[in-house]
Amino acid sequence: MKPVLLLMDYQEGICRSDGIFGSAGMGAEVERRGVLSVAASALHRFRESGYPVVHTKLEVDPTAHILTSSSAPFSAVREHGLMRTGDPATDFCPEVAPAPDERIIRKGGFGPFAGTSLEAYLHQVGPDELVMGGVSTNHVVESAVRYASDVGFPVTVLEDLCASSSPELHRFAIEEVIPSFATVLTSSKYFKSWDN
Protein backbone atom coordinates (compact mmCIF):
# COMPACT_ATOMS: atom_id res chain seq x y z
CA MET A 1 0.00 0.00 0.00
CA LYS A 2 1.40 3.38 -1.02
CA PRO A 3 -1.26 6.10 -0.68
CA VAL A 4 -0.66 9.85 -0.85
CA LEU A 5 -2.91 12.26 1.04
CA LEU A 6 -3.81 15.46 -0.82
CA LEU A 7 -5.29 18.17 1.43
CA MET A 8 -6.59 21.15 -0.52
CA ASP A 9 -7.14 24.76 0.47
CA TYR A 10 -7.65 24.47 4.22
CA GLN A 11 -6.89 28.17 4.58
CA GLU A 12 -8.03 30.94 6.90
CA GLY A 13 -9.70 32.97 4.15
CA ILE A 14 -11.62 29.95 2.86
CA CYS A 15 -12.49 27.83 5.90
CA ARG A 16 -13.43 30.50 8.44
CA SER A 17 -16.83 32.17 8.64
CA ASP A 18 -15.21 35.61 8.56
CA GLY A 19 -12.81 34.77 5.72
CA ILE A 20 -12.74 36.39 2.29
CA PHE A 21 -14.41 33.37 0.71
CA GLY A 22 -15.56 31.59 3.86
CA SER A 23 -18.02 34.37 4.64
CA ALA A 24 -20.16 33.33 1.65
CA GLY A 25 -21.28 30.18 3.46
CA MET A 26 -18.19 28.01 3.12
CA GLY A 27 -16.86 28.74 6.58
CA ALA A 28 -20.19 27.94 8.20
CA GLU A 29 -20.37 24.62 6.35
CA VAL A 30 -16.78 23.73 7.27
CA GLU A 31 -17.66 24.39 10.90
CA ARG A 32 -21.04 22.63 10.79
CA ARG A 33 -19.52 19.50 9.25
CA GLY A 34 -16.46 19.51 11.52
CA VAL A 35 -14.22 19.33 8.47
CA LEU A 36 -11.02 20.64 10.03
CA SER A 37 -11.21 18.22 12.94
CA VAL A 38 -11.80 15.23 10.67
CA ALA A 39 -9.05 16.37 8.30
CA ALA A 40 -6.66 16.68 11.24
CA SER A 41 -7.43 13.08 12.23
CA ALA A 42 -6.80 11.84 8.68
CA LEU A 43 -3.57 13.81 8.54
CA HIS A 44 -2.46 12.22 11.83
CA ARG A 45 -3.12 8.70 10.48
CA PHE A 46 -1.04 9.35 7.35
CA ARG A 47 1.81 10.89 9.32
CA GLU A 48 1.74 8.04 11.82
CA SER A 49 2.00 5.54 8.96
CA GLY A 50 4.77 7.43 7.19
CA TYR A 51 2.81 8.00 3.99
CA PRO A 52 3.36 11.17 1.94
CA VAL A 53 1.14 14.21 2.44
CA VAL A 54 0.70 17.12 0.03
CA HIS A 55 -0.99 20.42 0.91
CA THR A 56 -2.32 22.90 -1.63
CA LYS A 57 -3.06 26.55 -1.08
CA LEU A 58 -4.52 29.34 -3.13
CA GLU A 59 -1.77 31.95 -2.97
CA VAL A 60 -1.20 34.47 -5.73
CA ASP A 61 2.03 36.38 -6.26
CA PRO A 62 1.81 40.21 -6.13
CA THR A 63 1.62 40.53 -9.92
CA ALA A 64 -0.92 37.66 -10.24
CA HIS A 65 1.47 35.92 -12.63
CA ILE A 66 0.56 32.45 -11.34
CA LEU A 67 -3.19 33.09 -11.56
CA THR A 68 -4.21 30.41 -14.04
CA SER A 69 -8.00 30.44 -13.83
CA SER A 70 -10.13 32.52 -16.20
CA SER A 71 -13.34 31.71 -14.30
CA ALA A 72 -15.59 34.45 -12.91
CA PRO A 73 -14.71 33.89 -9.23
CA PHE A 74 -11.06 34.43 -10.00
CA SER A 75 -11.66 37.79 -11.64
CA ALA A 76 -12.23 39.11 -8.11
CA VAL A 77 -8.94 37.57 -7.00
CA ARG A 78 -7.19 39.38 -9.84
CA GLU A 79 -9.01 42.72 -9.71
CA HIS A 80 -9.09 43.16 -5.93
CA GLY A 81 -5.69 41.71 -5.08
CA LEU A 82 -7.11 38.86 -3.00
CA MET A 83 -5.18 35.89 -1.60
CA ARG A 84 -1.80 37.47 -2.30
CA THR A 85 1.42 36.16 -0.77
CA GLY A 86 1.71 37.51 2.76
CA ASP A 87 -2.04 38.00 3.24
CA PRO A 88 -3.15 36.22 6.45
CA ALA A 89 -6.12 34.86 4.47
CA THR A 90 -3.69 32.53 2.67
CA ASP A 91 -2.38 31.01 5.92
CA PHE A 92 -3.10 27.34 6.54
CA CYS A 93 -5.58 26.65 9.31
CA PRO A 94 -3.49 25.56 12.31
CA GLU A 95 -5.53 22.37 12.73
CA VAL A 96 -4.01 20.97 9.53
CA ALA A 97 -0.86 23.02 9.05
CA PRO A 98 1.89 21.26 7.05
CA ALA A 99 4.83 19.66 8.79
CA PRO A 100 8.27 20.89 7.66
CA ASP A 101 8.83 17.83 5.46
CA GLU A 102 5.43 17.91 3.71
CA ARG A 103 5.11 19.31 0.22
CA ILE A 104 3.17 22.54 -0.35
CA ILE A 105 1.70 23.33 -3.77
CA ARG A 106 0.78 26.97 -4.41
CA LYS A 107 -1.85 27.37 -7.08
CA GLY A 108 -3.67 30.09 -9.00
CA GLY A 109 -6.94 28.36 -9.83
CA PHE A 110 -9.48 25.92 -8.44
CA GLY A 111 -7.61 22.78 -9.45
CA PRO A 112 -4.24 21.88 -7.93
CA PHE A 113 -2.69 20.58 -11.15
CA ALA A 114 -2.87 23.51 -13.61
CA GLY A 115 0.39 25.43 -13.66
CA THR A 116 1.91 23.52 -10.73
CA SER A 117 4.44 20.74 -10.12
CA LEU A 118 1.86 18.44 -8.49
CA GLU A 119 1.47 15.94 -11.34
CA ALA A 120 5.23 15.56 -11.78
CA TYR A 121 5.69 15.06 -8.05
CA LEU A 122 2.98 12.39 -7.89
CA HIS A 123 4.44 10.50 -10.84
CA GLN A 124 7.78 10.56 -9.04
CA VAL A 125 6.26 9.20 -5.82
CA GLY A 126 4.12 6.66 -7.70
CA PRO A 127 1.16 6.27 -5.34
CA ASP A 128 -1.20 3.35 -5.77
CA GLU A 129 -3.95 5.62 -4.43
CA LEU A 130 -4.45 9.38 -4.24
CA VAL A 131 -6.62 10.14 -1.21
CA MET A 132 -8.05 13.64 -1.08
CA GLY A 133 -10.22 16.13 0.69
CA GLY A 134 -10.65 19.86 0.47
CA VAL A 135 -12.74 22.96 0.24
CA SER A 136 -14.75 23.45 -1.81
CA THR A 137 -16.17 20.11 -2.86
CA ASN A 138 -17.80 21.32 -6.07
CA HIS A 139 -14.87 23.43 -7.26
CA VAL A 140 -11.51 22.37 -5.86
CA VAL A 141 -12.14 18.68 -5.14
CA GLU A 142 -14.15 18.07 -8.28
CA SER A 143 -11.47 19.70 -10.43
CA ALA A 144 -8.71 17.68 -8.78
CA VAL A 145 -10.61 14.40 -9.12
CA ARG A 146 -11.30 14.88 -12.82
CA TYR A 147 -7.68 15.70 -13.64
CA ALA A 148 -6.13 13.02 -11.45
CA SER A 149 -8.40 10.37 -12.92
CA ASP A 150 -7.59 11.46 -16.47
CA VAL A 151 -3.84 11.09 -15.90
CA GLY A 152 -4.19 7.65 -14.35
CA PHE A 153 -4.19 8.04 -10.57
CA PRO A 154 -6.71 5.90 -8.66
CA VAL A 155 -8.55 8.43 -6.50
CA THR A 156 -10.44 8.16 -3.23
CA VAL A 157 -12.34 11.17 -1.89
CA LEU A 158 -12.96 11.33 1.84
CA GLU A 159 -16.29 13.13 1.80
CA ASP A 160 -16.21 14.26 5.42
CA LEU A 161 -12.99 16.17 4.68
CA CYS A 162 -14.95 18.29 2.18
CA ALA A 163 -17.47 21.12 2.25
CA SER A 164 -19.11 23.57 -0.14
CA SER A 165 -20.91 26.85 0.44
CA SER A 166 -24.18 24.94 0.82
CA PRO A 167 -25.17 21.37 1.73
CA GLU A 168 -26.83 20.96 -1.67
CA LEU A 169 -23.70 21.88 -3.65
CA HIS A 170 -21.67 19.42 -1.57
CA ARG A 171 -24.28 16.68 -1.94
CA PHE A 172 -24.57 17.08 -5.71
CA ALA A 173 -20.80 16.90 -6.21
CA ILE A 174 -20.38 13.90 -3.87
CA GLU A 175 -23.37 11.90 -5.12
CA GLU A 176 -23.78 12.90 -8.76
CA VAL A 177 -20.40 13.95 -10.16
CA ILE A 178 -17.38 12.68 -8.26
CA PRO A 179 -18.35 8.94 -8.22
CA SER A 180 -17.77 8.88 -12.00
CA PHE A 181 -14.08 9.55 -11.36
CA ALA A 182 -13.29 8.33 -7.85
CA THR A 183 -14.27 6.15 -4.93
CA VAL A 184 -16.14 8.16 -2.30
CA LEU A 185 -15.90 7.11 1.35
CA THR A 186 -16.15 8.60 4.80
CA SER A 187 -12.82 8.79 6.59
CA SER A 188 -13.93 6.27 9.23
CA LYS A 189 -14.82 3.72 6.56
CA TYR A 190 -11.59 4.38 4.67
CA PHE A 191 -9.33 3.96 7.70
CA LYS A 192 -11.21 0.87 8.81
CA SER A 193 -9.66 -0.84 5.78
CA TRP A 194 -6.22 0.01 7.17
CA ASP A 195 -7.04 -1.79 10.38
CA ASN A 196 -8.20 -5.03 8.76
For 178-191, the pLDDT digits (tens) are 999 999 999 999 99
* CA distances from residue 190 to 34, 115, 135, 157, 171 in whole angstroms, order as listed: 17, 30, 19, 9, 19
Indicate whether 159 belongs to any domain.
Answer: yes
Indicate whether 83 belongs to any domain.
Answer: no
Indicate whether 22 belongs to any domain.
Answer: yes
Indicate whether 149 belongs to any domain.
Answer: yes
Domain span including residue 144: 3-58+92-195
- pLDDT in the model for residue 76: 80
Indicate whether 71 belongs to any domain.
Answer: no
- Is 0.75 topped by the overall pTM? yes
CB atoms within 10 A of CB 92: 17
Indicate whether 77 belongs to any domain.
Answer: no
CATH of the domain at 112: 3.40.50.850
Opening angle at CA 149, ends 148 and 151, nearest 5: 70
For 67-87, the pLDDT digits (tens) are 777 787 777 888 888 899 999
Indicate whether 63 belongs to any domain.
Answer: no
For 142-157, the pLDDT digits (tens) are 999 999 999 999 999 9
Indicate whether 96 belongs to any domain.
Answer: yes
With a cut of 80, say whether residue 64 has pLDDT above it: no
Domains of the chain: total? 1
Strands 3-8 and 53-58 come out as parallel
